[in-house]
Amino acid sequence: MNGSELAARVRARVAEEVRELGHVSLATVLVGDDPASHVYVGYKHKDCTEVGIESIDHRLPADASEAQVLALVRELNADDQVDGFIVQSPVPDQINEARVMEEIDPVKDVDGFSPVNVGRLWLGREGHISATPLGIMEILREYEVQLEGADAVIVGRSEIVGKPMAALLLRANATVTFCHTRTRDMAERTRKADLLVAAAGRAGLIQPEMVKPGATVVDVGITRTPEGLVGDVDKGVVEIAGLLTPVPGGVGPMTRAMLLENTVRAARARRGLLAFD
Ligand code: NAD
């Protein structure tokens, strides 16, 4: 399943909406000097430029206090020129990330990490949803993967991937199972999956014998190796799966595209064109 191609189409759709709205902006907050975070924030600005979204770059030093971060969040909440913003995760240890997420205005919370948006997702109400699972749902829709009644197994239970993925698959009437580090005999469960979403961040965790022939496999994992990026799914799975997302070129580009879409949704909500309940 080609995420890059679909992401290009999402970006074209977003660019059109941005033109209609006139001005849309996304601010990023980067605290400290985590190298991967710098790369991700750089992509976000590049992506914004491509679709005509204004991007605003805020950086704080690695020793910034929680009070400083919260003050910036409040400033962005109040700034009428800012439609949406993200605080890049992870933040340094002295800052309570959950506390920061709580402070973000839910309408501007384009990552969908604030408790209000997480609650809305589980309640089936309108709000912002984490970009990675949202992008996966777009891929599954594009490739017409049957979700109703399907056995879906998610490996990983993080707040940003596993859990919101489960909420969306439940909403689509799949039967959802989580596997995680304490799961006994994971292979027994993954082998039953019509849809397997691997989001553990362990290179090669999903071996061919753990996959049901013909299953749809979504590889969320990203591990940097000297040979480049690798996913959680072993290369041999391509022979067994019916559909598979590659790494790179699968979930990654869709995650990036969905953040842009969420930013447009924030802009629409702020202009009264979309109601969050
Ligand atoms: P995380 O570390 O917060 O969570 C990992 C989850 O996997 C945990 O719930 C843990 O219980 C489970 N897990 C770990 N090892 C396991 C094992 N051996 N067996 C079973 N379960 C195991 O990670 P995350 O933020 O959810 O990200 C997961 C992976 O996806 C990472 O590699 C991350 O880089 C990648 N990711 C990719 C994208 C993308 O756009 N492609 C977006 C977000 C995250």
pLDDT in tens, 58-71: 999 999 999 999 99
Closest by CA position to 30, among listed 103, 110, 89: 89
- Ligand 1 proximity of 161 Cβ (cutoff 6 Å): yes
Q: Which residues are catalytic?
A: 44, 88, 111
Mean of pLDDT over the chain: 98
Substitution candidate for ligand 1 out of 158, 197, 217 with most atoms within 8 A of CB? 158
For position 277, what pLDDT does the model report? 79
Name all contacts of 78-81 with Cβ < 8 Å and 24+ positions apart: 79/27, 81/25
Band (177; pLDDT cuts 50, 70, 90): very high
Region 67-82: mean pLDDT is 98
Q: Are residues 90 and 174 in the same domain?
A: no
Query: At how many degrees (to 10) do helices 162-171 and 115-123 cross?
Result: 30
Structural domain includes residue 277: no
Q: Are residues 227 and 145 in the same domain?
A: yes
Residue-wise pLDDT for 188-217, tens only, equals 999 999 999 999 999 999 999 999 999 999
Structural domain includes residue 151: yes
- Ligand 1 proximity of 130 Cβ (cutoff 6 Å): no
Structural domain includes residue 236: yes
Q: Are residues 8 and 118 in the same domain?
A: yes
Region 239-261: mean pLDDT is 98
Q: Is 156 left (phi over 0), alpha (psi -120 to 50) or beta?
A: left
Substitution candidate for ligand 1 out of 44, 134, 155 with most atoms within 8 A of CB? 155
Token pair 């933040």 is at which residue? 91
Q: Is the pLDDT assigned to residue 229 strictly greater than 90?
A: yes
Q: How far is the CA of 158 from the centre of ligand 1 (A)?
A: 7
Tell me the sheet residues that pair with 153. 177, 196
Q: Where are the alpha helices (H) located in the chain, listed in sequence order? A: 3-21, 35-51, 66-78, 97-103, 115-123, 131-142, 162-171, 186-190, 251-270
Q: How far is the CA of 161 from the centre of ligand 1 (A)?
A: 7
% of the chain at pLDDT higher than 70: 100
Instruction: Report the number of distinct structural domains present in the chain.
Output: 2
Q: Are residues 12 and 44 in the same domain?
A: yes
Reading across the β-sheet that carries 25-31, which strands appear in turn? 54-60, 25-31, 84-87
Q: Are residues 13 and 102 in the same domain?
A: yes
Region 122-145: mean pLDDT is 98
- Ligand 1 proximity of 250 Cβ (cutoff 6 Å): no
Q: Are residues 23 and 76 in the same domain?
A: yes
Structural domain includes residue 71: yes
For position 272, what pLDDT does the model report? 97
For position 167, what pLDDT does the model report? 98
Region 49-57: mean pLDDT is 98
| CATH number of the domain to which 117 belongs | 3.40.50.10860
- Ligand 1 proximity of 259 Cβ (cutoff 6 Å): no
Domain range enclosing 204: 131-247
